[in-house]
Amino acid sequence: MKLWNKGTTTEALILDFTVGNDRELDLKLAKYDIQGSIAHARMLNEIKIITDEEIALIIPALDKLLKEVASGSFTIEEEFEDVHSKVEFALTEMVGECGKKIHTARSRNDQVLVDLHLYAKDELQEIKELISSLFNTLMDLAETHKEEILPGYTHTQVAMPSSFGLWFSAYAECLIDDLQFVNAALKIADQNPLGSAAGFGSSFPIDRERTTELLGFSELKVNSVAAQMSRGKLEKSVAFALASISGTLSKLSSDICLYMCQNFGFIGFPKHLTTGSSIMPHKHNPDVFELVRAKSNQIQNLPAEIGWITNNLTSGYHRDFQQLKEAFMNGLDSVKQNLEVTYYMLQHIEIKSQVKENDMYDDMYSVERLNELVIQGQSFREAYKQVGNEIESGTYTANKMLDHTHIGSLGNLRLDLIKAKHIEVQQ
């Protein structure tokens, strides 16, 4: 069944090419397509296009389809082009001719927009919850290990003293920035495009404010053309959020892979959470975090991929948008998986650092020595030269008695301030 069929036959090659894997992808949108149909039908009833007798048949039938989706029994067979045609066909089979009224004042264009906006809202809310779980784990680890020293690196060279508390809470605070992108994408998703039809509205006296209320959108996408132009913009906005999260996870994963290396030996994981080698019996590899890093780097390309497909299109609908679905949905799924597995792994992280006892890291305390001389009255430049000469001549002695007091330093993490920022952005 094709909603656009006018009695002519389209060649199988063309149908296969234009439909692609939309049926499979549309299964993720089925719940939202039915929700959109319920709201649209109620509104059509209120403006007297669907009668009270008809709505009494239509709503229970659509509710039944929703239950099929929830149970996993809802399918989109090959004879249907997409979820929209399957829902209308199934509805008409259940309620008769009045089921055919469901498409009044709608187009597939605004149907898919509604589906995607509702889908993105739910997915982003789930991602917010996953980020918060990971945030809380990182903050707990920061509190637990705030006294344990960790070398800080610049240029991949030992630089200055850091701590596990500083490291864990740094990634926690970065997740707050990522949440800002998620909230921005949510704001864009939380607009109702229903009623824009093919992109130019219709002559039916529909009540778009009513469907906005029924669908739980916070506001209406007012202009019909602007509503249609949200296709692509919605996906790109979400993609920027996903890319931001993925940048954080990729960097964290790289740190973990490095710190697990025997040359560093700062952290470890239980053997059952690592993988081995087919010929090297001693190996315990950080495959989980290598894959999180790789998947995260793939996702960081998503805004560019969406941009290349959409950035030279004129206003109005184009079939090009169909190509966004798979990468968009896969990106959302992949970010959720990465957040879930990172959260799980960090529940089991083992801190092994004995940095203070290792003379190899003594040079990272050179700035502490320099600052001590400045406090005693030397200029910074003279103190810098003196400590440099001490290191070169072998007379330098590391001062490991750290006294870092400013906000955000390893001696004053102010985890309470970071938690307060998270509460504010999570709301």
Q: What is the DSSP string of 89-110?
A: HHHHHHHGGGGGGGGTT--HHH
Q: Which of 418, 370, 410, 416 is nearest to 149 (CA)?
A: 410
**Would the pLDDT of 67 be above 50?**
yes
Compute the distance between CA of residue 283 and CA of residue 280 in angstroms, rounded to an integer. Answer: 6
Mean local confidence (pLDDT), 188-200: 96
Q: Which of 227, 188, 189, 187 is nearest to 206 (CA)?
A: 227
CB 418 within 8 A of CB 139: yes
419: phi then psi, degrees, rounded to nearest 5: -60, -40
The pTM of the whole model exceeds 0.85: yes
Mean local confidence (pLDDT), 127-133: 98
Compute the distance between CA of residue 192 and CA of residue 208 in angstroms, rounded to an integer. Answer: 8
State residue 10's pLDDT score. Answer: 54
State residue 356's pLDDT score. Answer: 80
Mean local confidence (pLDDT), 258-276: 90
**Would the pLDDT of 16 be above 80?**
no
pLDDT-based confidence at residue 188 (cuts at 50, 70, 90): very high
State residue 44's pLDDT score. Answer: 98
Compute the distance between CA of residue 147 and CA of residue 5 in angstroms, rounded to an integer. Answer: 70
Residues 28-65, buried b or exposed e (16+ Cβ, 10 A)? Answer: bbbbbbbbbbbbbbbbbbeeebbeeebbebbbebbeeb
State residue 1's pLDDT score. Answer: 47
More confident residue, 4 or 341: 341
Partners of 268 in beta bridges:
350
State residue 207's pLDDT score. Answer: 98
Strand, coil or helix: 29 = coil
More confident residue, 9 or 187: 187
| Amino acid at site 334 | S
% of the chain beyond a pLDDT of 70: 95
Q: CB neighbours of 375 closer than 8 A, spacing ≥ 6?
A: none
Greatest distance between any 2 Cα atoms in the chain = 96
pLDDT digit string, tens, across residues 212-253: 999 999 999 999 999 999 999 999 999 999 999 999 999 999
State residue 399's pLDDT score. Answer: 85
**Would the pLDDT of 5 be above 90?**
no
Q: How many helices and strands (H and E) does the chain possess? A: 15, 6
% of the chain beyond a pLDDT of 90: 85
User: Does an H or E element contain 17, and which?
Assistant: helix 12-19
CB 50 within 8 A of CB 41: yes
State residue 4's pLDDT score. Answer: 39
Kindly list the structural domains of the chain, giving each domain's residue range(s) and its CATH number in brackets, ordered by start.
12-104 (1.10.275.10), 109-199+224-356 (1.20.200.10), 358-426 (no CATH)
CB 320 within 8 A of CB 313: yes
pLDDT digit string, tens, across residues 345-383: 999 999 987 888 888 899 999 999 999 999 999 999 999
Q: CB neighbours of 152 closer than 8 A, spacing ≥ 6?
A: 158, 159, 160, 161, 162, 364
Q: CB neighbours of 326 closer than 8 A, spacing ≥ 6?
A: 21, 25
Mean local confidence (pLDDT), 171-183: 98
State residue 427's pLDDT score. Answer: 82
State residue 277's pLDDT score. Answer: 66
214: phi then psi, degrees, rounded to nearest 5: -65, -35
pLDDT digit string, tens, across residues 84-107: 999 999 999 999 999 999 999 999
Query: Exposed/middle/buried for 412, CB within 10 Å: 0-12, 13-18, 19+?
Result: exposed
**Would the pLDDT of 311 be above 60?**
yes
Compute the distance between CA of residue 151 and CA of residue 368 in angstroms, rounded to an integer. Answer: 14
**Would the pLDDT of 181 be above 80?**
yes
Residue 200 CB neighbour total at 10 angstroms: 13
Per the prediction, the chain carries an average pLDDT of 93
Q: Give the strand pairing for 219-220 and 191-192.
A: parallel
pLDDT digit string, tens, across residues 20-57: 577 889 999 999 999 999 999 999 999 999 999 999 99
CB 109 within 8 A of CB 153: no
**Would the pLDDT of 111 be above 90?**
yes
State residue 13's pLDDT score. Answer: 58
Compute the distance between CA of residue 300 and CA of residue 311 in angstroms, rounded to an integer. Answer: 18
